[in-house]
Structure 1
Amino acid sequence: MTTKHLDGRIALVTGASRGIGYQIAKALAAEGAHVVAVARTVGGLEELDDEIKAAGGKPATLVPLDLADMAAIDRLGGAIDQRWGKLDVLVANAGILGVLSPIGHIEAKVFEKTMTVNVTATWRLIRSVDPLLRRSDAGRAAVMSSGAAHSAKAYWGLYAATKAACEALVRSWANETMNTPLRVNSVNPGATRTAMRAQAMPGEDPKTLPTSKEVAAKIVPLLFPAVTETGMLFDVRENRFKRYQDPA
Structure 2
Amino acid sequence: MIATPDLTGRIAVVTGASRGIGYFVARQLAAAGAHVVAVARTVGGLEDLDDEIKAEHARTGKGAATLVPLDLTDMPAIDRLGGAINDRWQKLDILVANAAMLGVISPIGHVEAKTFEKVITVNVTSTWRLIRSLDPLLRNSDAGRAVVMTSSAAHSGRAFWAPYAASKAAVEALARSWADETRNMALRVNAFDPGGTRTAMRALAIPGENPETLPHPSETAAHIMRLVDPALTETGKIYQVRTGRFVAHSLPE
Matches within 5 A, 1:150-165: 150-165=155-170
Q: CA RMSD in A?
A: 1.2
Following superposition, the deviation at residue 59 of structure 1 comes to 2.9
Is 2:5–2:225's contact at 8 Å kept on the other side of the alignment? no
Is 1:219–1:236's contact at 8 Å kept on the other side of the alignment? no
Over residues 39-59 of structure 1, what are the superposed CA-to-partner deviations in whole Å (9 max), with x where a residue is unaligned? 000010010011011112433
Cα distance in 1 for partners of 2:27, 2:108 equals 37
Structure 2 counterpart of 1:233: 238
Structure 1 counterpart of 2:30: 29
So what's the TM-score if we normalise by structure 2? 0.94
Cα distance in 2 for partners of 1:173, 1:244 equals 16
Counterpart of 1:51, as a letter, is E
Over residues 90-140 of structure 1, what are the superposed CA-to-partner deviations in whole Å (9 max), with x where a residue is unaligned? 000000001111111110000001100000000000000000000000000
Counterpart of 1:140, as a letter, is R
Structure 1 counterpart of 2:146: 141
Structure 1 counterpart of 2:179: 174
Cα distance in 2 for partners of 1:153, 1:58 equals 41
Counterpart of 2:124, as a letter, is V
So what's the TM-score if we normalise by structure 1? 0.96
> Is residue 209 from structure 1 mapped to residue 210 from structure 2 by the alignment?
no
Counterpart of 2:17, as a letter, is A
Following superposition, the deviation at residue 220 of structure 1 comes to 1.4
Following superposition, the deviation at residue 243 of structure 1 comes to 2.5
User: How many residues end up aligned between the 2 structures?
Assistant: 243
Cα distance in 2 for partners of 1:108, 1:116 equals 12
> Is residue 16 from structure 1 mapped to residue 21 from structure 2 by the alignment?
no
Counterpart of 2:40, as a letter, is A
Is 2:5–2:229's contact at 8 Å kept on the other side of the alignment? no
Is 2:144–2:187's contact at 8 Å kept on the other side of the alignment? yes
Is 1:4–1:32's contact at 8 Å kept on the other side of the alignment? no
Counterpart of 2:22, as a letter, is G
Residue 173 to residue 48, structure 1, CA distance change in 2 (3 Å): same
Residue 191 to residue 67, structure 1, CA distance change in 2 (3 Å): same
Percent identity, aligned pairs only, is 70
Over residues 8-39 of structure 1, what are the superposed CA-to-partner deviations in whole Å (9 max), with x where a residue is unaligned? 00000000000000000000001100000000
Structure 2 counterpart of 1:54: 55
Cα distance in 1 for partners of 2:225, 2:22 equals 11
Is 1:138–1:182's contact at 8 Å kept on the other side of the alignment? yes
Cα distance in 2 for partners of 1:42, 1:152 equals 36
Cα distance in 1 for partners of 2:51, 2:116 equals 36
> Which consecutive residues of structure 2, in runs of 5 or more, have no partner in the other structure?
none
Cα distance in 2 for partners of 1:111, 1:224 equals 35
Give the match's secondary structure for 1:82.
Answer: helix
Structure 2 counterpart of 1:223: 228
Following superposition, the deviation at residue 219 of structure 1 comes to 1.3
> Is residue 64 from structure 1 mapped to residue 85 from structure 2 by the alignment?
no
Is 2:32–2:63's contact at 8 Å kept on the other side of the alignment? no
